[in-house]
Amino acid sequence: MTAYELIFPDYLDGYEHETEAKGYLVGVSVVVDGQPADFVVYDPVRLMQEVADAIESAGLFSEQRLLVVARVTREEITSAIQKLSAGNFHDFL
């Protein structure tokens, strides 16, 4: 398992319920060996909406470091990042 620091955006404090209801969060950062990697986090419903809208307007959907979790909460995101660390963040860093 790779050592890392998980950093949530400052604006999340006090807005956790709103963020979960919206189904997405931008600016989740994972720092490994001093190198930050920013993630965009979606729940499956919101992701499908974003994909459909992007395909309709631009013909494609693309997102770097996309993380999909059941619910956009600190707990779900922390758990997912922990699982990725077990694989040394192979696909993301």
- For 26-57, write each residue's pLDDT tens digit: 999 999 988 899 999 999 999 999 999 999 99
7 or 90, which is more confident?
Answer: 7
Contact 72, 26 (CB under 8 A): no
> Quick count: other Cβ atoms within 10 Å of Cβ 70?
10
What is the arithmetic mean of pLDDT over 54-78? Answer: 96
Block residue for tokens 């619910």? 71
Determine the length of the chain: 93
Q: What are phi and psi of 56, to 5 degrees?
A: -65, -40
What is the arithmetic mean of pLDDT over 56-67? Answer: 95
| pLDDT class of 9 with cuts at 50, 70, 90 | very high
| pLDDT class of 93 with cuts at 50, 70, 90 | low
| DSSP code for 75 | H
| pLDDT class of 87 with cuts at 50, 70, 90 | confident
